[in-house]
């Protein structure tokens, strides 16, 4: 998520609570995507979603690794959880209860993400997971996806844009079949449905937006993810691959987005490689995107999803989240309201009057780091 983050993103998005607003209900400033790997870029595109890395943006702004006082620190371990919409989390108790922010019956509670501690790996998919309570007022609600009534979601956004945030919470000591134990695999599908069938043309009563590795190609300079950020699903039924059979049998959406726990950045702020910098590299800096469950690592945004969400043509939104190669667990995916800046964002926007970044708290254990 990384879900969706999923990304060793280029420079990252800015998420700042507007001065004077409460941390619980604050809108977040999210820049228009200016995607690629150059110092002026702030994102990468994974199929239908623009993905931003907060850790990279923090580095570009001269703050170094994210710390609590930094403007790019999005704290997900605080007292504002009751004001977040949580799709999936490893935290228990009232932290999974979305009826704190939406009317009872209009939203599913959060799905439980796994605990992979103990040196092994584990996978997750909503279709095989457990939601604590289903929204019984959602037409066509199923246990295979996380669902919410669009009208209630739009009310929650209060004029802002829909944005997802994702926490990566890997260890850096457990062995996996990926390049690095801090890496993971992510896949996301968000579907809008006209359950009445009266607002959309026949045969077009639903539309799905994907975050996956299928669209990764060599056009990184155009903002796309590259083939190194894609991980093909093994052949169906292959017992030698632990993540086989998790993704749908769809040739257009059957590849994982490869989530890198680290990226290598130049002093100018460009991404020069995915994974840690080469041993002996005295020029570039390894940036950690594996920020644990207490700090959001990635933000995911789709402009077309936002437009259709506000069109009044759809009444249900469903989220299908899948992850693999988890070595610690408690990854989480949440929703918050974001304000949209039409121009590419620059560091000069960090002027006075910007408040701190407290956001969507999750009471969770720290990721185990060796």
**pLDDT digits over 250-260, tens only?**
999 999 999 99
pLDDT of residue 328: 86
Kindly state the average pLDDT of the residues 121-135: 81
Question: Which H helix or E strand runs over 151?
Answer: helix 150-157
- The tokens describing 189, both together, are 């599908």
The residues near 219 (Cβ < 8 Å, ≥ 6 apart) are none
Q: Which tens digits make up the pLDDT trace of 93-104?
A: 666 788 888 999
Q: Which residue would you say has higher pLDDT here, 18 or 75? A: 75
Q: Which tens digits make up the pLDDT trace of 45-62?
A: 999 999 989 898 788 878
For residues 217 and 229, give the distance between their C-alpha atoms in angstroms, rounded to a whole number: 9
- The tokens describing 60, both together, are 């570009």
The residues spanned by each domain of the chain are 28-230+289-349
Q: Which tens digits make up the pLDDT trace of 313-360?
A: 999 999 999 999 888 888 889 898 876 544 333 333 333 222 333 333
- Contact of 299 with 163, CB cutoff 8 Å: yes
For residues 74 and 165, give the distance between their C-alpha atoms in angstroms, rounded to a whole number: 10
Rg of the chain taking only CA atoms, in angstroms: 19
For residues 174 and 191, give the distance between their C-alpha atoms in angstroms, rounded to a whole number: 34
- The tokens describing 317, both together, are 């939104």
pLDDT of residue 45: 93
- The average confidence (pLDDT) of the chain is 78
Residues paired with residue 316 on neighbouring β-strands, in sequence order: 149, 193
């Amino acid at each position: 998520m990384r879900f969706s983050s999923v990304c060793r993103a280029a420079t990252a998005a800015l998420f700042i609570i507007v001065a004077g607003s409460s941390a619980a209900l604050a809108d977040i400033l999210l820049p228009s995507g200016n995607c690629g790997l150059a110092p002026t870029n702030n994102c990468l595109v994974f199929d239908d979603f623009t993905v931003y890395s907060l850790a990279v943006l923090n580095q570009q702004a001269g703050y170094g690794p994210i710390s609590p006082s930094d403007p790019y620190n999005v704290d997900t371990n605080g007292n504002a959880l009751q004001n977040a919409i949580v799709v999936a989390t490893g935290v228990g108790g009232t932290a999974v209860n979305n009826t704190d922010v939406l009317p009872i019956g209009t939203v599913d509670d959060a799905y439980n993400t796994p605990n992979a501690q103990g040196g092994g790996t584990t996978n997750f998919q909503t279709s095989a997971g457990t939601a604590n309570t289903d929204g019984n007022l959602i037409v066509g609600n199923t246990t295979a996806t996380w669902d919410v009534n669009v009208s209630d979601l739009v009310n929650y956004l209060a004029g802002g844009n829909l944005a997802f945030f994702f926490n990566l919470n890997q260890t850096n000591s457990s062995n996996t079949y990926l390049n690095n134990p801090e890496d993971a695999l992510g896949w996301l599908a968000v579907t809008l449905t006209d359950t009445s069938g009266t607002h959309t043309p026949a045969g077009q009563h639903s539309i799905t937006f994907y975050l996956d590795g299928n669209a990764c190609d060599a056009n990184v300079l155009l903002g796309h993810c590259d083939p190194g950020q894609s991980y093909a699903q093994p052949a169906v039924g292959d017992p030698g691959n632990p993540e086989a059979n998790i993704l749908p049998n769809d040739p257009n959406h059957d590849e994982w987005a490869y989530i890198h726990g680290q990226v290598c950045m130049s002093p100018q702020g460009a991404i020069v490689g995915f994974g840690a910098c080469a041993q002996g590299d005295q020029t570039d800096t390894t940036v950690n995107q594996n920020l644990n469950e207490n700090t959001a690592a990635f933000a995911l945004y789709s402009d077309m999803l936002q437009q259709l969400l506000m069109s009044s043509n759809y009444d249900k939104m469903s989220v299908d989240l899948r992850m693999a190669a988890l070595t610690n667990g408690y990854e989480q995916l949440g929703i918050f309201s974001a304000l949209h800046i039409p121009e590419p964002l620059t560091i000069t926007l960090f002027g006075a009057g910007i408040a701190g970044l407290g956001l969507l708290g999750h009471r969770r254990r720290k990721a185990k780091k060796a």
